[in-house]
Structure 1
């Protein structure tokens, strides 16, 4: 039988394996190079992506929430005092000067701290007379030297002081404290911290006096000239009151306060109007809103004086809502007299305490 030499076949197989190994090596090297090049391209492209607005980055660098612990010690006198009186990082704050003491308004207001057992309270005093009065009456007080902006001079003491509060609040928010800001024309009946939802950046009282005006409603607009498209809808609600609101400590609220402080230092403008514009004006074009989330306080728990004097007091007792948390005399100029009467009406046992007051500011109105 003829003999077969298989050496040629074996050599072909060996050559094929060698070629495969070489090709596989080249493929692996190419894959690695591709990954390296792709990563470099990604890094280079990331470098040219536009950065956030400068204001936001400045806010972030100033915001201390989550970046500081009590172990490190307080950073300033304000934080040291806050750690003492409000260790849970929530504070009921009122801004006051000596003018609020002249007719006893500050005394009537601060009695609410004691009545509702609000230990985490503070009066931010603008002068030494207010500091001394608070110390004599057992009220937590801290003095801050602030200057009324030239743009606010001539607006009246109340409005000028009110315009300062956003800059004052910024100091607290920067340190990480949430603040329930309160004007002094408010009666406190219950601890407000037990009635907050805390699910929004800003939780505030409305100037609305019923469900539609406070919580909002969809309204219709009719333009007959548009024919088929004559009807359109829009959303409407009353403004939030800048004299009673709870504000969380985060980057969005810090930006809101920074904008308001800057704006009111340059413009002769009512602080409440600016407050609502900054919260509710929608982002458009080159304008970006602070994008804070908002909750309206319950109108029967955090009640304004129009709702009380024009509606609630005229209802029979069994149809009236339970004891409110706070009542704000925001609609009427005779603030202190009404404030004292409201306290007598709700906890003084005098169901006729409000009878002598007109519903509005004009005599005879109901």
Structure 2
């Protein structure tokens, strides 16, 4: 105190006092300035965090050492800054076809081929067409029953979907917005029938656009043997025939869309676009007639290859194969009405069961024939 008082008395004044306490003041001011600088730096760099402040305010080491220590810390701030800067992921847009791709993936073969059929509630009741359809696979020859593993059943109403899930693993509910009640039978060429057929056609277009090949089969087709053996690898489209004239590549054959193989490729996608447009070009026609009307221009304009399937193997009531040793499928075409189809197909399955239970020599002798005439079969 004496020393301090002497200096004050001697007129050293403020200047001398400042000289005596400058280390303390310098330290305090230096720390304060450093803190201010850091806070300013933080405000200018919102990506920085408290980790940076700890590195900068540590009172040991040089500025370079502090900087090096900051770089060696886990890069939490960089990750946080990146996350903050990244845009939020876009919300998932639900597919208009729901779980379709999942169902297709489960059912498809290694080369992305599925078998498809389409049903409504009227066809799923016990003893109705779906039961007969399954029975034909189970009593078929040559491992045809294994093809059910690749069958997708497209249902048109909730009741059909519910029943399908009871009997089959690959069911898909095709929701429609055209106001048609698909639960009941649709009479041939009625307005609802045409809506259903063209809706089916549009759905098939979706399948090829998704990159899947498909073999579509009406549920009133009985499967006895593997039909894929009769589909040419060179065909873009293979379609059954109401009338087959002998040459599978002649456009003079009359097609039936109830049994149809389509290979997914640019040509078939283009074909389906023109096919859909034909609904309005040829107003009032169903999809099978429009196919017949555009087949010439499509082979000329896009070079699509169409195979018409021989009715000896891929047969129907329109042109019946009577050789049970060769037949693969039998379609209740040229037959109107659910009751008539059920009557004749039950008789078909009765004959087929007798055939499969007979000795090989008896089969080869060709002694088995369909029950003729039926309501439609002749």
Indicate the TM-score class for this superposition, using the shorter chain for normalisation.
Answer: 0.5 to 0.7
Q: Is 1:110–2:134 an aligned residue pair?
A: yes
Unaligned runs of 5+ in 2: 1-93, 181-185, 358-366
Determine helix, strand or coil for the equivalent of 2:284.
Answer: coil
CA contact (8 A) 1:91 1:122 kept: yes
For 1:248, the equivalent position in structure 2 comes to: 263
Count matched residues. Answer: 255
Flag as ranges the 4+ runs of structure 1 deviating above 6 A.
350-353
CA contact (8 A) 1:208 1:237 kept: no
The one of 277, 284, 296 aligned to 2:293: 277
The one of 283, 292, 301 aligned to 2:304: 292
Distance 1:263 1:325 in 2: 32
Determine helix, strand or coil for the equivalent of 1:272.
Answer: helix
The one of 316, 320, 328 aligned to 1:304: 316
Determine helix, strand or coil for the equivalent of 2:105.
Answer: helix
The structural deviation recorded for 1:194 is 3.9
For 2:353, the equivalent position in structure 1 comes to: 347
Deviations 1:51-71 (A, max 9, x none): xxxxxxxxxxxxxxxxxxxxx
For 2:119, the equivalent position in structure 1 comes to: 96
CA contact (8 A) 2:243 2:253 kept: yes
For 1:79, the equivalent position in structure 2 comes to: 101
The structural deviation recorded for 1:174 is 0.9
Determine helix, strand or coil for the equivalent of 2:208.
Answer: helix
RMSD: 3.2
CA contact (8 A) 2:249 2:306 kept: no
For 2:152, the equivalent position in structure 1 comes to: 122
C-alpha change, 1:264 and 1:107, in structure 2 (3 Å) is farther
Distance 1:156 1:98 in 2: 19
The structural deviation recorded for 1:293 is 0.9
The structural deviation recorded for 1:241 is 0.7
The structural deviation recorded for 1:162 is 1.9
The one of 179, 198, 205 aligned to 2:214: 179
Deviations 1:309-346 (A, max 9, x none): xxx44xxxxxx362411111112332121112122222
TM-score using structure 2 length? 0.59
Higher relative contact order, structure no. (Cα contacts within 8 Å, ≥ 6 residues apart): 1
The structural deviation recorded for 1:104 is 0.5
C-alpha change, 1:360 and 1:113, in structure 2 (3 Å) is closer
Deviations 1:85-136 (A, max 9, x none): 2142111111111122346112211334445221111111111111111111
